[in-house]
Structure 1
Amino acid sequence: MSALLEVSGVSKSFDGFKAINNLSFAIAERELRAIIGPNGAGKTTFMDIVTGKTRPDSGEVRWGENSRSLLRMSEAQIARAGIGRKFQRPTVFEDQSVEANLIMALKAPRGPFAVLRWRPSAGSRARVQDLAAEVGLAGQIRRKAGELSHGQKQWLEIGMLLAQEPRLLLVDEPAAGMTLAEREQTTTLLKRLAETRAVVVVEHDMEFVRRLNCKVTVLHQGSLLAEGSLDHVSANPDVIEVYLGR
């Protein structure tokens, strides 16, 4: 099966510090993958490169069936091509309802005149109901986003990304600050989403990664250190030394 995303020999330095060092790995369609590693391992820089926020010094990042180069695309073009990123802190419109947040996120013409004329259709409102149900917020659709719990805001932001119909979701530390019940619900959500698209979870919390029960990529000093199941990489002496601090 061909890769949906392929990172090949990518390197990036900042003022002499190599944040990414000859990094190569691939993500398949409809795959759930966890990326772990200590602080400074290159996890955020990897996401910045894939989403077009940062340009690498060398290497290639290819996307989709036609193996298009993401490095020749702008951030907006990459988002439209089907790559969505959820940052660690949820960014939702706090004074707007859950429904309004989801309506604003729907895929629609974004030109200045199109935006002024656009009104949500019955189909759009039905789609919003579906999105709210998908992320567990069907009962909160009229509430202001600012009234939601931290975990619910995270789910709303995932719903807003899903409104753009991405083929790849990059999710940064989704478990941070969540209650145990919210973490369990988030695990279920991410697993379900990976049945229809690729989901990459960047995470520090090893117990959360274990619950995801997926392939794990370990980064260290910007390079790929190990890859496989969590049990497999946890038994790797190099991973034990750099990640578990033994």
Structure 2
Amino acid sequence: MSMLLEVSGVSVSFDGFKAINNLTFQIGPAEMRAVIGPNGAGKTTFMDIVTGKTRPDEGRVLWGEKSQSLLRMSESQIARAGVGRKFQRPTVFEDQTVAENLMLALKKARGPMSVLRFRAGKQDREKVGALAEEIGLAGALARKAGELSHGQKQWLEIGMLLAQEPRLLLVDEPAAGMTPAEREHTTALLVEAAKTRAVVVVEHDMEFVRRLDCRVTVLHEGSVLAEGSLDFVTSNERVIEVYLGR
């Protein structure tokens, strides 16, 4: 199977501290992956490198069928190429409605004039309706985003990312602060998204990772410590030692 994203031999240091150390990581075009590891393992820096926020000192980050180098692209070019990232705290436009948030996020030409001239057509409204249905907010389209619960704001932000039609979705600790029912819906949402794109979930919550039922990559000191099913990695002696504790 051809890979969508290939990270190989990537290292980056900050003030002499090696945040990422000869990291190698691959994911296919329609695959779910959970990334776990102790604090300081390099999980955030890994996402920063893939999205162009941090430039590594060495290594390669290749993208898509043509193996383009993401390291030659700016953050905005990487986003346009199909890499979407959701941070831990939801960032939605609180004074806009759910429908307006989704409409703003639709994949469109982004020049200043095209933004000013934009008028939502029937197709746009249908797309917003379908997205709202997918994220479980079809009944809340007219509500202001600021009125939503924490979990609903997380779903709205995932919907806004899906509106941009990314081929890879990087999601940081989506289950944090959610009720059990919200976590269940979030699981279903991400599993569904991974049927048509690559989804990488960085998470601490083992129960949530188990529900995702996917391959797991364990990072430690900036490199891959173990990879495989959750049962496989959690029975690894080194993983138990450095992350899970005795």
TM range (shorter): over 0.9
Stretch moving more, 216-225 or 118-127: 118-127
Write the distance in 2 (CA, Å) between the matches of 1:57 and 1:73: 15
Q: Which residue of the partner structure matches residue 50 of structure 1?
A: 50
Q: Percent identity?
A: 77
Residues 1:80 and 2:80 aligned together: yes
Write the distance in 2 (CA, Å) between the matches of 1:86 and 1:123: 26
Q: Which residue of the partner structure matches residue 110 of structure 2?
A: 110
Write the distance in 2 (CA, Å) between the matches of 1:101 and 1:89: 16
Q: Deviations over 1:162-212 (max 9, x none)?
A: 110000000000000000000011011111110111100000001100111
Residues 1:142 and 2:142 aligned together: yes
Q: Which residue of the partner structure matches residue 119 of structure 2?
A: 119
SS at match of 2:244: coil
Residue 151 of structure 1 aligns with an amino acid whose one-letter code is G
Tell me by how many angstroms 1:154 deviates.
0.3
Alignment RMSD: 0.5
Q: Which residue of the partner structure matches residue 22 of structure 2?
A: 22
Write the distance in 2 (CA, Å) between the matches of 1:239 and 1:106: 41
Q: How many residues align?
A: 246
Residue 92 of structure 1 aligns with an amino acid whose one-letter code is V
Q: Which residue of the partner structure matches residue 93 of structure 1?
A: 93
Q: What TM-score, normalized by structure 1, do the two folds share?
A: 0.99
Written as runs of structure 1 = structure 2, the 5 A alignment for 1:184-223 is: 184-223=184-223
5+ residue gaps, structure 2, are: none
Tell me by how many angstroms 1:237 deviates.
0.2
Residue 165 of structure 1 aligns with an amino acid whose one-letter code is E
SS at match of 1:177: coil
Residues 1:241 and 2:229 aligned together: no
Q: What TM-score, normalized by structure 2, do the two folds share?
A: 0.99
Q: Which residue of the partner structure matches residue 8 of structure 1?
A: 8
Q: Deviations over 1:12-35 (max 9, x none)?
A: 000011000000020011100000
Q: Which residue of the partner structure matches residue 180 of structure 1?
A: 180
Write the distance in 2 (CA, Å) between the matches of 1:69 and 1:235: 36
Tell me by how many angstroms 1:245 deviates.
2.1
Residue 30 of structure 2 aligns with an amino acid whose one-letter code is R
Residues 1:226 and 2:208 aligned together: no
Write the distance in 1 (CA, Å) between the matches of 2:44 and 2:182: 24
Moved over 3 A (4+): none
Write the distance in 2 (CA, Å) between the matches of 1:143 and 1:220: 42
5+ residue gaps, structure 1, are: none
Tell me by how many angstroms 1:84 deviates.
0.2
SS at match of 2:129: helix
SS at match of 1:13: strand
Write the distance in 2 (CA, Å) between the matches of 1:187 and 1:165: 19
Q: Deviations over 1:39-87 (max 9, x none)?
A: 0000000000000000000000000000000000000000000000000
Write the distance in 2 (CA, Å) between the matches of 1:188 and 1:130: 16
SS at match of 1:3: coil
Q: Which residue of the partner structure matches residue 68 of structure 2?
A: 68
Tell me by how many angstroms 1:151 deviates.
0.4
Write the distance in 2 (CA, Å) between the matches of 1:245 and 1:231: 15
Write the distance in 2 (CA, Å) between the matches of 1:229 and 1:109: 41
